[in-house]
């Protein structure tokens, strides 16, 4: 019965495509414990260092003491608690929208939002590099989905023009705000112009921008100067905000539709009260002087690291953010480089197909505000040395 699986796994091993878990000890910091050693963490989404921030820990502990460890039901049955509602109110104010809804994860949010709001009469226009959860949400929705070339607003406009004569239902443009495997930012202002001209809606997944981008951490929409023009703001709490879960912020009607139609929301136990409590604490930090300083430190880390890698001739994606992928191209080179870097005390995971296209494997470096400049300079030197050592493509 399991022989096929074993053969498949052997094939993955032989082609450097096998994925394995690495178990870290201790909290998620700039340094983590791995197999009894201290290593520099260079692949975490804990961009502001909030996953281990005392204020979030305190808020989660307080909520656990006051409300217990579980919600014991889905939101529509017994599991809608004051902290869920308090977070939603806080988040809606943060994103400047009429309402918001908490989801159990970003994956659950994207699959549930898209399939809950869009149906067979609708057309979804989806960026070619959108996250897997968006792709799966489009599939589940049964709406016609047209994939436009990455970030190409002119090509998208062309697709829309072709589609216009047979339009029946709603049109949705869906895009990552920050592309998770490339680190570039979607052309959100131009997408807003287009969706307004075409009477379409725009859904932005700001998993990697929330808390981090824009002068006040409102995310990629703020960074692009068009926050208020985005119709549906999706984001996660497990990256810049340090915790776990996800949200949609937008019009009340969309939120009410999801309460009635969104299967991951309806048919799943809601998050423990500690989670929204920690998320509120995270938003408080994002809105504080400390938040501004963390964003500034992250931005200066980013500049320093990109400059060091580019000066040494590393091939990077068109990154604009704290996600700084170094292209290694083949699975073999990627795995060799990751192993060499780990031997040097740096945890930097390789990303291979199907997460990225064949021929575009990469080491996806992600920076934190809590990294020191000198350790990033040292890490860049190690990466450059490793790239020189591994065989060329």
Dihedral sign (CA 356, 362, 363, 368): negative
**Which range of residues in 31-39, 67-75, 100-108, 253-261 is near ligand PLP by CB under 6 A?**
100-108
Among positions 46, 115, 180, 322, the unique one binding ligand PLP when judged by CB under 6 A: 180
Vertex 287: Cα angle to 282 and 291 (nearest 5): 75
Q: Is residue 322 a contact point for ligand PLP (CB under 6 A)?
A: no
Q: Which of residues 208-267 bind ligand PLP (CB under 6 A)?
A: 236, 238, 246
Q: Is residue 115 a contact point for ligand PLP (CB under 6 A)?
A: no
What is each CA distance from 392 to 78, 238, 317, 388, in whole angstroms? Answer: 58, 36, 18, 8
Of the CA atoms within 13 Å of residue 365, those in its CB half-sphere come to 30
Tokens representing 211 are 């808390």
16: left (phi over 0), alpha (psi -120 to 50) or beta: left
Nearer to ligand PLP, 212 or 380 (CB): 212
Q: Is residue 205 a contact point for ligand PLP (CB under 6 A)?
A: yes
Residue from 105, 180, 220, 382 carrying the catalytic annotation: 180
11 part of the active site: no
- Total residues contacting ligand PLP by CB under 6 A comes to 13
**Which range of residues in 91-99, 105-113, 308-316, 367-375 is near ligand PLP by CB under 6 A?**
105-113
**Which range of residues in 86-94, 104-112, 139-147, 311-319 is near ligand PLP by CB under 6 A?**
104-112
180 part of the active site: yes
**Which range of residues in 80-88, 106-114, 293-301, 381-389 is near ligand PLP by CB under 6 A?**
106-114
Nearer to ligand PLP, 83 or 178 (CB): 178
**What's the N-to-C CA distance of the chain in angstroms?**
38
Among positions 114, 124, 207, 337, the unique one binding ligand PLP when judged by CB under 6 A: 207
- Tell me how far, at minimum, the Cβ of 269 lies from ligand PLP, in Å: 16
Among positions 106, 116, 240, 264, the unique one binding ligand PLP when judged by CB under 6 A: 106
Q: Is residue 176 a contact point for ligand PLP (CB under 6 A)?
A: yes
Catalytic residue set: 180, 208, 239
For ligand PLP, the binding residues (CB under 6 A) are 105-107, 110, 131, 133, 176, 180, 205, 207, 236, 238, 246
């Amino acid at each position: 019965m399991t022989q096929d699986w074993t053969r498949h796994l052997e094939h993955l091993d032989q082609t450097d495509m096998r994925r394995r878990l690495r178990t870290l000890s201790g909290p998620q910091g700039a340094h983590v414990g791995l197999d009894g050693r201290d290593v520099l963490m260079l692949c975490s989404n804990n961009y502001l260092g909030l996953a281990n921030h005392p204020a979030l820990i305190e808020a989660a502990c307080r909520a656990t003491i006051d409300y217990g460890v579980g919600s014991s039901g889905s939101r529509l049955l017994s599991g809608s608690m004051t902290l869920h509602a308090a977070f939603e109110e806080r988040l809606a104010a943060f994103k400047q929208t009429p309402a918001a809804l908490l989801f159990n994860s970003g994956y659950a949010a994207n699959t549930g939002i898209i399939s809950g709001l869009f149906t067979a009469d609708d057309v979804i226009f989806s960026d070619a590099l959108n996250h897997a959860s968006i792709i799966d949400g489009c599939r589940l929705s049964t709406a016609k989905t047209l994939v436009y070339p990455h970030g190409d607003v002119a090509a998208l406009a062309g697709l829309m023009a072709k589609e216009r004569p047979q339009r029946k239902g709603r049109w949705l443009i869906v895009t990552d705000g920050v592309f998770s495997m490339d680190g570039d930012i979607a052309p959100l202002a131009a997408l807003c112009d287009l969706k307004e001209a075409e009477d379409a809606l725009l859904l932005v997944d700001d998993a990697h921008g929330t808390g981090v981008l824009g002068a006040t951490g409102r995310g990629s929409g703020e960074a692009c100067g068009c926050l208020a023009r985005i119709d549906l703001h999706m984001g996660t709490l497990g990256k810049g905000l340090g915790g776990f879960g996800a949200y949609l912020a937008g019009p009340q009607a969309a939120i009410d539709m999801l309460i009635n139609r969104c299967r991951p929301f309806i048919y799943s136990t809601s998050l423990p009260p500690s989670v929204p409590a920690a998320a509120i604490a995270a938003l408080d930090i994002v809105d504080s002087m400390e938040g501004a300083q963390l964003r500034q430190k992250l931005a200066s880390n980013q500049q320093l690291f990109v400059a060091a890698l580019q000066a040494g001739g590393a091939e990077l994606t068109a990154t604009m953010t704290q996600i700084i992928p170094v292209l290694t191209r083949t699975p073999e080179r990627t795995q060799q480089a990751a192993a060499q870097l780990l031997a040097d005390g740096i945890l930097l995971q390789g990303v291979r197909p199907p997460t990225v296209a064949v021929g575009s494997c990469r080491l996806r470096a992600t920076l934190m505000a809590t990294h020191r400049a000198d350790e990033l300079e040292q890490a860049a030197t190690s990466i450059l040395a490793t790239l020189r050592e591994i065989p060329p493509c």
